[in-house]
Amino acid sequence: MNSLEASIRKDSTKGHLNSIRKSGNVPAIIYGGKDDNQSISISKKLLKTLIEQENFLSSIITLNINGKSQNVLPREVKYHIISDEPTHVDFLRVLPGVKIKIEVPVNFINHEKSPGLKRGGVLNIVRRKVELKCPSEKIPEKLTLNLDGVDIGESFKISSVKLDPEVVPTIQGRDFVIATLAAPTVMKEPEKPAEAEGAEGEAGAEGAEAAAATDGDKSATDGDKKDSDDKKSADKKPTDKKPSEEKK
């Protein structure tokens, strides 16, 4: 469980909040339960380290306040519109028996042991987080789904996840899908056997030879026809006529 050192702040004026931020800290508030809301400040550097974790908003954090520890759950983080630095955090007190709604991230393991992924399948994640209703002291850190032995066409539903009896999804009445292992979008064309490629090559060569032979016969026929036409033309050449005798 992560922990943070926190200091109590009594002044909530705009000027005081700005001075807290300039000193490298972030103002925050703790609420929930029967106790009054408590204003605190925490280190921005340490806070940013925790925020970088994927499950920050679903992880219980221990705040050490003036020697006393308080388990809290981050509920909201506000950021500067330009610098994107955290400017304020809301924490909810973790009290035994109190149920809350929370989104828990989904984690997939054993990708290398999935025959479907090895054959080019694609893991289609429908829900990266699942909203649960559970006691604050039983919040799961993450929902783990095992890809070992999973093949193309199979899917993960909420029933695939082992949950504590007191931890239930907020979506009731249906076994909703979390992820599916789909077929690849582009299928590879199977390679042609070597024998088939050889047969195609031989067929192509035979076709080329046949075409060449046909062209040769056609050329010979055209040549014979031309010689015949020339001979006929010569035979039909007009004979010279003798000039007619002049009348006496």
Q: How many other CB atoms sit within 10 Å of the CB of residue 194? A: 8
Count CA atoms closer than 13 A to 135's CA, side-chain side: 9
| 153 in any annotated domain | yes
pLDDT of residue 26: 95
| CA dist., res. 161 & res. 146, Å (int) | 10
Final residue belonging to a domain, choices 94, 129, 146: 94
**CATH number of the domain where residue 160 is located:** 2.170.120.20
Count of domains forming the chain: 2
Region 148-170: what's the mean pLDDT? 93
**β-pair type (25-31, 61-65):** unpaired
| CA dist., res. 85 & res. 102, Å (int) | 24
| 245 in any annotated domain | no
| 237 in any annotated domain | no
| CA dist., res. 8 & res. 16, Å (int) | 13
Q: Which residue segment(s) compose the domain that 168 sits in?
A: 100-182
pLDDT digits (tens, 9 = 90+) for 78-114: 999 999 999 999 999 988 888 888 999 999 999 999 9
Q: Under 8 Å CB-to-CB from 97, ≥6 apart: which residues?
A: 135, 137
Q: What are the distances in angstroms from CA 42 to CA 65, 73, 106?
A: 10, 14, 29
Sign of CA dihedral 89, 95, 97, 98: negative
Final residue belonging to a domain, choices 33, 60, 94: 94
pLDDT digits (tens, 9 = 90+) for 112-142: 999 999 999 999 999 999 999 998 888 888 8
| CA dist., res. 217 & res. 24, Å (int) | 97
Closest alpha carbon to 128 in 148, 104, 146: 104
Position 221, amino acid: T
**Assigned token pair, 11:** 């002044």
Are residues 68 and 91 in contact, defined by beta-carbon separation less than 8 angstroms? no
pLDDT digits (tens, 9 = 90+) for 39-77: 999 999 999 999 988 788 888 899 999 888 989 999 999
Q: Which pLDDT band holds residue 215 (cuts at 50, 70, 90)?
A: low
Are residues 29 and 39 in contact, defined by beta-carbon separation less than 8 angstroms? yes
pLDDT digits (tens, 9 = 90+) for 70-81: 899 999 999 999
Are residues 140 and 59 in contact, defined by beta-carbon separation less than 8 angstroms? no
Residues 152 and 87 both lie in one domain: no
Query: Dihedral angle at the C-alpha atoms of 13, 19, 24, 29, nearest 10 degrees?
Result: -10
**CATH number of the domain where residue 89 is located:** 2.40.240.10
| CA dist., res. 10 & res. 41, Å (int) | 10
Count CA atoms closer than 13 A to 61's CA, side-chain side: 26
Residues 106 and 176 both lie in one domain: yes
- pTM for the structure as a whole: 0.62
